[in-house]
Amino acid sequence: MQKPFYVKILLFATLLLGINAFAQEKDQASGDEQESLKSEIKEFIGHHLLDSHDFTLFTIDEENNEHVSFPLPVILWDNGVKVFMSSKFDHGQSVAEVDGEYYALYHGKIVKTDAEGTINYDNEEHATNVKPLDFSITKNVVFIILVSLIMIFMFGRMAKSYKGTMMPKGMGRFLEPIILYIRDDIAIPNIGQKHYRRYMGYLLTVFFFIWIINLLGLSPLGVNVTNNIAVTLCLAFVTFLITTFTANKNYWKHIFWMPDVPVFMKVVLAPIELLGTFIKPFSLMIRLYANITAGHLILMSILGMMFIFKNWMGSSLSFALASALSFLELLVAALQAYIFTMLSALYFGSAVEEHDDH
């Protein structure tokens, strides 16, 4: 028996509503999956940029906590020295028991806890567990030591290559033009012919240290030393100490009691000039930290877009853009070393400049 026309319309409308509901449910599921993937990528980028107490090469199974890694020494001061290997934390999944005390990893930091790994929070959801003094050999510390050894090897080989000849051999041929450039285009113009030799050792050290450590940060090893603000703080602080303790009387005179300036202006400008002595190293610290961190964030975010697009066009464009940006980061690695060295030389030059007060 043939169905009436209105029954056919009703059945067709029901079918359309069912298809629409299924499509919406599928879109919602796809949207939830997309948001979950974005959160996972953000978490991975944040983890990649942080220092850690172990060295993880790659992850086999995140759910089962299977990683290819090796532990590093943990050194704590908590009513005495506590030394153990980071493998006790099992990548943050376990509580480490040492001499009757319990320690856990919380967002990359070691905190005291109980056998169950309880984390206590205040009203603002901040952890209130006690943090012992941490002198651990972390991933960043390992690579700082490694770069130091590389530099000792490089310059040691260079020094040996000059024995019995004025022409360097081997590694010396690569390093000599860079050293001469730092001397002739950075140190002498900014510090002066008379005083530049006093600062050459530091300028060469800081240039090659920042350059090599930045290049390692672009490798698949996942080491980002200069995006740790504690490292850039120490580098800037050394520049501040050298500037302060090698400055001559003219430097301090032009800060506290500038010649040929009215007394009222001297009183007003002295605090500003004194504040400037601290702002200069602060700018060194922030410039190096911010540029390196921003570069890594952008590069890894673009790589993460390959997993979000899930099509050949979007993934190919993301890969091409990430490759181009990687070559640009190679330039930034050297540029940041140059800028830090140049500004340090400029500050040293202002500290030893001999002014003419007339």
Predicted confidence at residue 284, as pLDDT, reads 92
CA distances from 213 to 49, 147, 152, 234, 289 (A): 14, 7, 14, 15, 13
Which parts of the chain sit beneath pLDDT 50? 1-3, 5-19, 21-29, 357-358
Predicted confidence at residue 31, as pLDDT, reads 53
CA separation for the pair 251, 355 (Å, rounded): 9
Upper half-sphere CA count for residue 242 (Cβ side, 13 Å):
21
> What one-character-per-residue DSSP string does 73-123 give?
EEEEESSSEEEEEGGGGTTTTS-EEETTEEEEEETTEEEEE-TT----B-T
pLDDT, tens digit, for every residue of 184-236?
999 999 998 989 999 999 999 999 999 999 988 887 776 778 888 889 999 99
CA separation for the pair 243, 247 (Å, rounded): 6
CA separation for the pair 168, 299 (Å, rounded): 38
Token digits of residue 272: 């500003």
Judge residue 258's burial from the number of C-beta atoms within 10 Å of its C-beta, 0-12 exposed, 13-18 middle, 19 or more buried: middle
Token digits of residue 109: 């930091």
Predicted confidence at residue 140, as pLDDT, reads 87
Predicted confidence at residue 191, as pLDDT, reads 93
HEC secondary structure over 36-53: HHHHHHHHHHHHHHCCCC
The continuous run of DSSP H or E covering 256 comes out as helix 249-256
CA separation for the pair 336, 286 (Å, rounded): 12
User: Are 143 and 52 spatial neighbours (Cβ–Cβ below 8 Å)?
Assistant: no
User: Are 345 and 315 spatial neighbours (Cβ–Cβ below 8 Å)?
Assistant: no
pTM: 0.81
Domains of the chain by residue range: 49-134, 139-352
- Look at residue 127 and give its three-state secondary structure: strand
CA distances from 250 to 259, 289, 349 (A): 10, 32, 12
Residue type, 180: L
